[in-house]
Amino acid sequence: MDKNMKMQSINLNAWFGLKQALKDVNIAIKPNAVTAIIGPSGCGKSTFIRILNRMHELIPNAKLTGQVLLDGEDIYAKDVDPVMIRRRVGMVFQKPNPFPTMSIYDNVAAGLKLTGAKKGRNLDEIVKASLERATLWDEVKDDLKKPGTSISGGQQQRLCIARAIALQPEVILMDEPCSALDPIATAKIEQLVVELKQDYTVVIVTHNMQQASRVSDFTAFMYLGSLIEFGPTRDIFESPKNPLTEKYITGEFG
């Protein structure tokens, strides 16, 4: 166990029913850095990221063995409440999923209201700060009462990021956050990801290798549930050690 790491998976194995999705994955995630997980479809990258905030266990028949450490403590220890882990490790999903019944304002405030964390705090200020942080404030400041689903897909995704930020998590997980977005919206999110690492630890899953090389400091390449190679992004893309990584990077399969 490395004390300098924000999160760490140790000998992590995961199953859906009898099908093994992860095999002995050991990844250490550095604080205030962006770690990208890349690999072809079905390689287990989404499974891995969902394990980091205990969303994995919501799927029926999902099992796992091994440890996941957050600040050195096992988040799968018996007395740990998954709800408390999810407050510290936020998540942004593949498809923008703002709450359909809530306004833009309420979407950002929802986490604070529904977790009871808003006591004695200025909701307006937090909502404004979170939207500013997600570079969405200028676009929606006059429409805060409008439904969260009324804005464009890219804006919705930044709204989801603001919603996660509002709870001031320590880690932000992003599960292919740009796969449903157009190139311009994607560029905005990528820029945002790079900015976010000042305050947060970011883990991003992507099937877009260029994206990983643009935004991340570290890259993990996964294949068929195993971690093939992990290291500084530059090394992975410029001098991969494993021939499989090289094949994937150069587009020979994937």
State the residues that interact with other proteins by CB under 8 A. 53, 55, 58, 60, 83-88, 90-91, 93, 95-101, 110-111, 114-115, 149-154, 156, 160, 163-164, 167, 180, 182, 185
- Kind of pairing, strands 201-205 and 171-175? parallel
Q: In one letter, which amino acid is 38?
A: I
Counting beta carbons within 10 angstroms of the beta carbon of residue 26, is it exposed (0 to 12), middle (13 to 18) or buried (19 or more)?
Answer: middle
State in angstroms the smallest separation of the CB of 158 from other proteins: 13
- Nearer Cβ to other proteins (75/209): 75
Q: Which is nearer to other proteins, 35 or 156 (CB)?
A: 156
Beta carbon of residue 88, minimum distance to other proteins (angstroms, whole number): 8
How far out from the chain centre does Cα 171 lie? 8
Q: Taking a C-beta distance cutoff of 8 angstroms, is the pair 93, 79 a contact?
A: no
Which of 149/208 has CB closer to other proteins?
Answer: 149
Rounded least distance, CB 125 to other proteins, Å: 19
Report the SS3 class of residue 173. Answer: strand
What angle do the packed helices 153-165 and 104-114 form, to 10 degrees? Answer: 30
Least Å from the CB of residue 185 to other proteins: 8
**Can you tell me whether residue 22 is helix, strand or coil?**
strand
Cβ-based nearer residue to other proteins, 21 or 185: 185
Rounded Cα distance between 120 and 242, Å, is 53
In angstroms, give the least distance from the CB of 184 to other proteins: 11
Q: Which is nearer to other proteins, 18 or 58 (CB)?
A: 58
State which residue, 105 or 237, has the beta carbon closest to other proteins. 105
Closer residue to other proteins (CB): 25 or 92: 92
CB contact at 8 A, 38 and 109: no
Nearest to 187 by CA among 178, 195, 196, 175: 178
**Cβ 221 to other proteins shortest distance, Å:** 25
Distance CA 92, CA 38 (A): 17
| Residue 250 neighbours by CB under 8 Å, 6+ apart | none
CB of 4 to other proteins, least distance (A): 26
